[in-house]
Amino acid sequence: MLEKQLNLFLFMDGARLGHALTAQANDLTLSDVSNLTDVFYIGGTKNGALFGEAIVFKNSQVCSEFDYVLKQRGALLTKGRMLGIQFYELFKEDLYFVLAEKANKYAAQIAEAIKEVGYEFLTESATDQIFPILPKTVIASLHEKFAFYVWKEIEESRAAISLITSWATDQKSVDEIIEDIKNSSVPE
């Protein structure tokens, strides 16, 4: 492998790791991620944790000064065990993956309803983030009830929005946004 020949390390951003690993099209496991990377982190705040990320070092060369750098930058928590307790609980009975899979399922339900109405997407997504292209009148109407932001202007009358479900999303909210989208104006 070239990175090993050049003495390079592979770091993976895992902010949405749970959602990626539970996506239907995914064939990687957490063990695979661990075996393929030198350092990765397990996102917590996007999947039910109050704060923090869990950093996993597979290569001891990478972490030799990590604690020192954290202290020097003021990032070492005094009560760091509290952070660990969150992950301990999230990984009990696969709760971490259950929550991520639920968010992916709800996003898929919303995406399907958007397709049924006839709207397009900026890109296809298999996780909890979808990017529908909607008329700005529909965006304005949805913005009155739902929190999201415009991702990209497409043209004068349409834009792509970033719509993200989460561990805290419930079926009632999903049904409500689907109903509002179905009751929106006919696609242009």
Contacts 24+ apart (CB under 8 A), 135-143: 135/184, 135/185, 135/187, 135/188, 137/184, 137/185, 138/181, 138/184, 138/185, 141/180, 141/184, 142/177, 142/180, 142/181, 142/184
Average pLDDT over residues 127-156: 96
Q: Is the pLDDT of residue 115 over 80?
A: yes
pTM comes to 0.89
Average pLDDT over residues 3-28: 90
Q: Using one digit for the tens of pLDDT, what is the confidence trace for 59-91?
A: 887 888 888 888 888 877 777 788 889 999 999
Query: What pLDDT is attached to residue 72?
Result: 86
Instruction: State phi, psi for 13 to the nearest 5 degrees.
Output: -75, 120
- Which residues make Cβ contacts (< 8 Å) with residue 182, sequence separation at least 6? 113, 116, 117
Q: Is the pLDDT of residue 1 over 70?
A: no
Contacts 24+ apart (CB under 8 A), 48-51: 48/90, 48/95, 48/96, 48/99, 48/167, 48/168, 49/86, 49/87, 49/90, 50/86, 51/83, 51/86
Average pLDDT over residues 138-161: 95
Query: What pLDDT is attached to residue 60?
Result: 80
Q: Using one digit for the tens of pLDDT, what is the confidence trace for 16-68?
A: 999 999 999 999 999 999 999 999 999 999 999 998 889 999 888 788 888 88
